[in-house]
Every structure is written in structure tokens, then in C-alpha cells.
Amino acid sequence: MRPNKIKQMWRDGKNVTLGWLSVSHGFTAEVMARQGFDALCVDLQHGTSELNDVLPMLQAISQTDTVPVVRVAWNEPAAIMRALDLGAYGIIVPLVNTAEEAAMAVAACRYPPVGMRSSGPVRAVQYGGADYQANANDEIVIMAMIETKEGLANLDAICATPGLDAVYIGPADLSFALGLQPRGDNPDPTHLATCDKILETAHKHGIKAVMHCASAAFAAGAVKRGFDMVMLTSDLACMIAGARLQLDALKAETA
């Protein structure tokens, strides 16, 4: 089976860079995949993509050695299994509140006898290799998002879930949970301390911690604080930032 570069890098003690796809288009996915991210996520929760968009976007990503990841819209086994069958090598599950919910997400990603994933890797076997089913349980990465009051209350139990590879911080919803205004790259001391607590708890249980960022500066700080993966930027954010940069430069030059 094609090895999962995310797991390889983690075994080597390296930090993983993750890019984000909010736009539902294969060409956008292809361009982002060629920029040098270690992994790239198709966002089905808040992006413009639907499940029918996933296949061509994963095919575009697969032209490179960038690891294809999907954030599903909800902790729903059928959607998780479908994304895996289409070739996702990593799954991000939002709004995980309890150890039971984390265990359900893990089970959907693992074939029996350790999980409940149904047999039918229609495209995954083409991408992963003929021995995909024999080795997928060891290669697929499953990440649970910690971003609610209930998730924080059950953090220790969630991180202790057998088979869970990482916890993923959603900073905006976590801000809600802490009584703060939602924002990315939140500098609030309470928010930062909570993120560090999530990181420490994950590492205590031998799993990884991921920070969703909105800038290189904040992502660099997260790496220095010990996070194992950072989501750096999205296709949409880059398009907006690039357009604003050129417009502002033009206005400055012609003022």
C-alpha cells in the first residue's frame, strides 16, 4: 500500500503542513497540491464542496505526493466511509464531544475486526495499491476536532480513545466555547492556554495535536509550541489576499 506521508513524517518527528480547499474545483485542488504542502484537505463542513465534488478533487491532488485529506461535515459513518473509498488518506471529524463519538469516528475508518468500515474501496485501491485493504487500518489518519465546551470537558477521555491519531483544534468554535468572539489566530491568553492544554493532553496519551491557523506567523508559533501539524492557509484566503495585495499596490502607485 502507498505509505501515508503524514504518518511517516510524524514517526520521524517532523511537523506536517496542511493546506485547505474551500473552493469546489479540481483545478484549484491541483494548483494548491503543487505548492508544496505535505497534505491538503477538502472541506465538506464549511467549504463549497459537496460529496460529489470529492472524487475529482482527490484525483487532482493525487497527481502529486500531497496527502489527500477530507473534513466531513459531521461524524456520520457513511460519509466517512465514502470519503475513504474515494481515496482520502486522512479524515477530520468536526465537533467531537465525547470519547464515544471519537470511538465511532475511529470505527468508521477501520476495517473489521477493529472497526466497522464496510468493504468497497472503489477508488482507494487504485490510489493506495492492491494490498490497500490489508494495510489501510495502519495508514489512514483519523483526527477529531476539539472545539466545544463538552469536548473540552471530555478532553482526556477523547485523547485516550484507542485508534485515534490526533486531535484538531478549530479556533473559531473553540472561541465560542470560551465565551470569546470567533476568530482565527486568536491571541487571547485564555484561548492560547486552552490550545496548549489540548496539545499537552494529546501528547500525554501518545497522539498528535493539530492547529488550524490563518497566517505563517501564527503557524510558526504553533510549531514552536509543539504542534505536530499546522493548517497554514486556504485557496480562498490566498485568492482574497492576493487580489487585495495587487489592488492596494495599484492604489498606492496611482494615488
> Residue 189 belongs to what H/E stretch?
helix 189-204
Phi (first) and psi of residue 40, to 5 degrees = -145, 130
Q: Is 46 a catalytic residue?
A: yes
Q: Are 32 and 40 within 8 A, CB to CB? A: yes
> Residue 68 belongs to what H/E stretch?
strand 67-71
Closest CA to 234 of 34, 32, 30: 32
Bridging pattern class, strands 39-43 and 90-93: unpaired
Catalytic member of 25, 46, 203, 205: 46
Burial 41-69 (b: 16+ CB within 10 A, else e): bbbbbebebebebbbbbbbbbbebebbbb
Cross-strand pairs, 137: none
- 3-state SS assignment for residue 253: helix
Alpha-carbon 227 to chain mean position: 13
Alpha-helical runs (H) found in the chain: 5-11, 26-33, 51-61, 77-85, 99-109, 124-128, 132-139, 149-153, 155-159, 171-177, 189-204, 216-225, 235-254
Quickly list DSSP for 103-134.
HHHHHHHS-TTTS-PPS--TTHHHHH-TTHHH
Q: Which residues are catalytic?
A: 46
